[in-house]
């Protein structure tokens, strides 16, 4: 899958995008024909245990991107540019090139930074935009675009990113009507997260989809599994069998 193929999916079928940060999950997603694997700076929370994404460094993204790339043969790999990695066009170019060197096919940038986007595109680095709620710079998680002036700015940002040449854009935590309008008004595909079914595709953090964190329950997340409970049960069984000397049994012992 390449960026042109992703562009061509707009209006034809929904685009599937999920995050991955390690080899086994990336390998599974790639085998299931997930269109886009996002190496998200959400790793700051679901891998590193921080409360937000603000402490993630470019070195973290390079490391996890290289792991995901080793597992992937089909999916398009998009890597997040973490906070303070694109403060100016030159810095953005250097850091984006690092991500592509280890296997990313494109990068994602939060917000509207025309000079940064233009510089990356001039150097043939595909860029995905990200509008609405911006985790890197927002003080707290909340729906964006409820006020008319805020909604208008998000819409204008989407139009500008589309005009400059972003091959797609994530729309995060905005009202349904706004996501629907943006999707209709831009040529590039929109990928929603907490932004209704009217986007061209959807993305979730894989840990949320799998239910790994029993305490994280935002409205927009649907759990398709409860791995937290499965892991708890498996570890409890292991503890019991070790303590009762039923593991390892004869079948699991070399003779």
- Catalytically active residues are 172
Beta-carbon contacts of 188 under 8 Å, excluding residues fewer than 6 positions away, are 7, 10, 129, 161, 162, 166, 167, 168, 169
Block residue for tokens 């995060």:
172
Nearest to 25 by CA among 77, 102, 60, 62: 77
Q: What is the rounded CA–CA span in Å between residue 158 and residue 136? A: 18
Q: What is the DSSP letter of 223?
A: -
Each residue of 103-123: b (16+ CB within 10 Å) or e?
A: bbbbbbbbebbeebbebbeee
Is 103 within 8 Å of 69 (Cβ atoms)?
A: yes
Assess whether the previous peptide bond of 248 is cis (omega < 30° from 0). Answer: yes
Phi, psi of 114 (to 5 degrees): -55, -45
CB contact at 8 A, 72 and 36: no
The H or E element containing residue 156 is helix 148-164
């Amino acid at each position: 899958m390449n960026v042109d193929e992703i562009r061509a999916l707009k209006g034809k079928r929904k685009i599937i995008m999920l995050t991955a940060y390690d080899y086994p999950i990336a390998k599974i997603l790639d085998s299931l024909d997930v269109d886009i694997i996002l190496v998200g700076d959400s790793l700051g929370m679901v891998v590193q245990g921080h409360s937000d994404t603000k402490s993630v460094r470019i070195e973290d993204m390079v490391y996890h991107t290289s792991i995901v790339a080793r597992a992937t043969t089909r999916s398009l790999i998009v890597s997040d540019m973490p906070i303070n990695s694109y403060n100016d066009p030159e810095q953005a170019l250097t850091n984006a090139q690092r991500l592509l060197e280890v296997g990313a096919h494109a990068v994602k940038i939060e917000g509207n930074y025309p000079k940064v986007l233009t510089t990356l595109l001039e150097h043939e680095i595909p860029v995905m935009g990200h509008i609405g709620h911006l985790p890197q710079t927002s003080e707290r998680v909340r729906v964006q675009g409820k006020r008319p002036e805020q909604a208008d700015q998000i819409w204008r940002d989407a139009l500008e990113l589309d005009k400059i040449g972003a091959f797609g854009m994530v729309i995060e935590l905005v009202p349904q009507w706004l996501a629907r309008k943006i999707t209709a008004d831009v040529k590039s595909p929109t990928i929603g997260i907490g932004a209704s079914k009217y986007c061209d595709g959807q993305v979730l953090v894989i840990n949320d989809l799998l239910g790994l964190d029993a305490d994280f329950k935002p409205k927009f997340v649907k759990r398709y599994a409860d791995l937290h409970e499965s892991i708890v049960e498996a570890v409890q069984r292991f503890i019991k069998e070790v303590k009762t000397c039923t593991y390892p049994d004869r079948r699991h012992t070399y003779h």
